[in-house]
Amino acid sequence: MNHKGEIPVIILLIPFLLGLATGIQFLSAVYLPALTIAFISLAIVFVVLNLNYQRLVIYKTRWIGGLLMGLILFSAGWISVISYNELNNRQHFSKIQSQYLAVSINNEPQFKNGLVRFTATVRQSINHRQTADVRGTLLLTLKDSDAIALQYGDELLVPATHTPIDPPFNPAEFNYKKYLAHQNIYYQVFLFPGQYKLLKHDTGNPFIAYALKLRQQMVVLFKQKLHDPNAIAVASTLILGYKADLSNDVLQAYSKTGTIHVLSVSGAHVAIIYLLMQWMLGFLNRYKYGRLLKMTIMIMLIGYYAMLTGFSPAVCRAAVMISMVIIGNTFVRHINMLNILAISALLLLLYDPFFITDVGFQLSYLSVAGLIVLQPVVYQWFKFKNKWADKLWALCSVSIAAQVITFPLSAYYFHQFPVYFLLSNLLIIIPTMVIMYSGIAYLLLAWVPWLSTTLAWVLEKSILLMNKALSIIEHAPFASINKIWFTTAEYLLTYTLIISLFYFLYDKKSWLLKLSMACLFLLCLSISIKRYHADNSSSVAFLNLRKNTGIIFKSGDKAVVLTNLADTDKNYKYAVQPYLDSCKISHAELYTLNQGISKSYLKKQGGFIQFNNKKIMVFDKQILSLQLPQKLKTDYLYITGNPYADLNTINKNYDYQTLVIDGSNSTKLIELLEQQAKEKHINYSVLKRNISLIAVSN
């Protein structure tokens, strides 16, 4: 552990981070005037007190200076987030009426499932031939095979038919709207052939354009000599940060084994390149100005590699950090790694405050902090006299420290824990280094026929071997613990538990042990209450699956899913499975609308469903012409499959409390039913561009 005098940047960074976090929650520009006044006032008071330090005897109350500095940095963090948010800019394109927008592609277009998707910077708005300079970022999706030719820097003219990004419609569904908002993207446009026009080429940053073109050329080099598609995708991702070709199976194997960090070009990859450069340029240390030359070359090459991989937050963090280590070593200065880590974080957050919301950024910094602070504590747990056993334990301590410090965050976001993470991380150490070195050598020597072929063979076999090993671990019994759904309070309690427990192991203060035990008790209590409620509650959920049907009947830890989707369908995995997992469902059965169901808590015959004390009627084309002798009373009437009938016809046979209309119905029918429901004062819910409907049934 470090004395706070050795880590001043860490101390200063904490209130700045708190300001950023507060700003993310309160992004409105209405706070900006008050915050600006507070910032200026606090800064003036701080300067005045420092100028009159002795006269006012401030040295007796030194905490005042610390408090003022903390408040100044807190307000600065909040101000920086609000100022960086594009929606707070008066020139944002959404605030200016326009017919067309001139946009410039600002990232590498991705082609997937017949669609070309990219983000673009909006430059101008055009309204009745009047142009105006505007700002903002727009997400564009083109259903056009010719759009594959589009590149970074191309300028397009597109119609101003942008719509807001949809929020998550179903419980536990990935919040894509929030994810894009943290990248300053709030609007999207979907276009077909002929709806856009290419105006210019090469209007972007020439530095970035060169880097992206060079990376594409290197991806092509991999495709020339490597044959397995997964090997090509892993090589492109691991060495160049190009993830477009990665398959879901490969991603799942790395994710479930706790080695997904390998596929994110970050500190470990930059460190491998750093070690290679140290070895190759070591001879320069013998010359008078050799160390300065070596430092310059290494920093330039690390910067070049960061550029080549797309300037991801993890690579930028590693590049800044290792560059500072190189400078410190060159001038023989004491290096505090936590301080350097904090400096790199501060620099990146000053450039883009929204980096704080990036999961990769958070995991990257936490893992490195864990290695610096926790790894020495873990390493002291065991002592081995054998040199190789000691080296093996050192590697294990690295993996344990990184996994422990990132567990709460990864569980909070990804809801799983890889049981065999230690084995997985040990297995990939050597293959990863072989892949990195053989891949870099191949790219540098691709023009040498026999040597490049040999290097490509080594590269491909190393990747396939690593993939095979991880696949075996992935399918081993109890390979991962799934369905971990932390609340924010549980997530914070877990971090408090980990930090206090490890601090106790280092400092042996009894209050730290008491704090960790208290956190453990509260955490267990919260999880137990949540589990008890999940096991003793029943509910029916009408999900919004766009043009598909989805009704979930939950009874304790069991559920019946009424849907036309298979459990392997991507829409099912995206919208249905997360809800089941968050409800702690251990056994779910799938049925179609045509099947009958007979269970203790659920009966279905035809379109009529009895679920505990709730009655539901599924109204589709099959019962459209059905005439009942008397009205059937139900709690919910669920209209699906576009049975064209108005409420006057429907109400002759059914008496219901709530009308539910799903997205499989046509827009015309939905509008008709919605209008009639309003006129008749009927409670209704439309599952199209609206959130799902959840009803408790006990």
User: Band of the pLDDT at 635, cuts 50, 70, 90?
Assistant: very high
| In the chain, % of residues over pLDDT 70 | 95
- DSSP 3-state of 669: helix
276-297: per-residue pLDDT in tens?
A: 888 888 888 888 788 889 889 9
Whether 253 has a pLDDT exceeding 80, the answer reads: no
In a domain, 240, yes or no: yes
580-606 average pLDDT score: 90
Q: How far is CA 301 from CA 263, 268, 316, 512, 549, in A?
A: 21, 16, 13, 45, 54
Looking at the structure, tell me whether residues 515 and 634 fall in a common domain: no
Is 153 a member of any domain? yes
Using the structure block, give the residue that is written with the tokens 């409105």. 28
Q: What is the pLDDT of residues 414-453, one digit of tens each?
A: 888 888 888 888 888 888 888 888 888 888 888 888 898 9
For the chain, the domain total comes to 5
Distance CA 248, CA 474 (A): 14
Amino acid 5 reads G
User: For residue 358, is it within any domain?
Assistant: yes
In a shared domain, residues 497 and 639: no
Residue 389 clears pLDDT 70, i.e. is over it: yes
Beta strands 137-142 and 130-133, pairing class: unpaired
Same structural domain, 303 and 412: yes
CA distances (Å), origin 374, targets 235, 253, 370, 672: 31, 27, 5, 63
Which one, of 634, 654, 658, lies nearest residue 645 by Cα?
Answer: 654
Write out the DSSP string of 564-609.
Answer: SS-TTSHHIIIIIHHHHHHTT-SEEEEE-TTS-EE-SSEEEETTEE
Examine the pLDDT at 1 and tell me if it is beyond 60. no
Q: What is the pLDDT of residues 180-224, one digit of tens each?
A: 999 999 999 999 998 999 999 888 888 888 888 888 888 888 898
For the sheet with 602-605, list strands across it.
Answer: 597-598, 602-605, 608-611, 614-619, 632-639, 654-662, 683-687
The alpha-helical segments, DSSP class H, found in 149-243 are: 176-181, 206-225, 229-240
- What tens digit of pLDDT does each residue of 147-174 get? 888 999 999 999 999 999 999 999 989 9
112 pLDDT more than 90: no
Q: Are residues 463 and 501 in the same domain?
A: no
Instruction: Report the alpha-carbon distance of residue 646 to residue 673 in Å, rounded.
Output: 6
DSSP three-state, residue 211: helix
More confident residue, 240 or 586: 586
pLDDT, mean over the chain: 86
Residues 442, 565, single domain; the answer is: no
What value, to the nearest 5°, has the Cα angle with vertex 434 and ends 430 and 436? 115
Residue 2: inside a domain: no
- Residue whose tokens read 């605030």: 95
DSSP 8-state code for residue 105 = E
Residues 98 and 52 in one domain: no
Q: Comparing 54-58, 418-422, 463-467, which segment has the lowest mean pLDDT?
A: 54-58
Q: Provide CB contacts within 8 A for 471, sequence distance 6+.
A: 253
Instruction: Give residues with Cβ within 8 angstroms of 613, minimum separation 6.
Output: 697, 698
pLDDT band at 264 (very low <50, low <70, confident <90, very high): low
Instruction: Note whether 398 and 518 are same-domain residues.
Output: no
The total number of residues shown for the chain amounts to 698
Residue 390 phi/psi, 5-degree rounding, is: -65, -40
Q: Would 3 be classed as within a structural domain?
A: no
pLDDT digits (tens, 9 = 90+) for 174-191: 999 999 999 999 999 999
Joined tokens for residue 312? 């991801």
Any idea what DSSP says for residue 663? Answer: T
Question: What is the band of 5 on the pLDDT scale with cuts at 50, 70, 90?
Answer: low
| CB-CB contact of 93 with 50 (8 Å) | no
**Residue owning tokens 């997360």:** 578
Q: Per-residue pLDDT tens for 538-554?
A: 999 999 988 888 999 99
The pLDDT value recorded for residue 617 is 92
In DSSP terms, 541 is beta-bridged to 552, 694
Residue 430, pLDDT score: 82
- Residue ending a domain, among 204, 230, 265, is 204
Residue 332 resides in a domain: yes
State residue 266's pLDDT score: 64
Same domain, 139 and 255: no
* Higher pLDDT among residues 689 and 697, named by residue: 689
Same domain, 107 and 191: yes
Of 22, 54, 84, the residue that ends a domain is: 84
14 by Cβ neighbours in 10 Å (0-12 / 13-18 / 19+) ranks as middle
Of the pLDDT bands very low, low, confident and very high (cuts 50, 70, 90), residue 265 is low
Are 245 and 192 in a shared domain? no
C-beta of residue 118 within 8 angstroms of C-beta of residue 108: yes
Cα 576 to Cα 598: distance, rounded to the nearest angstrom: 22
**Cα–Cα distance measured from residue 272 to residue 436, given in angstroms and rounded to the nearest whole number:** 8
pLDDT above 50 for 125: yes
531 and 542 fall within a common domain: no
Instruction: Identify the helix (H) or strand (E) that includes residue 402.
Output: helix 387-414
Any residues with CB less than 8 A from the CB of 334 and at least 6 apart, and which? Answer: 328
d(C-alpha 130, C-alpha 96), whole Å = 12
- Whether 184 maps to a domain, the answer reads yes
Structure tokens at 526: 């919260």
Query: Cα–chain-centroid distance for residue 540?
Result: 29
Structural domain including 162 reads: 93-204
* Final residue of a structural domain among 177, 204, 231: 204
How far is the CA of 12 from the CAs of 3, 48, 82, in angstroms? 14, 20, 20
686 pLDDT higher than 60: yes
Asked if residue 547 and residue 466 are part of one domain, the reply reads no
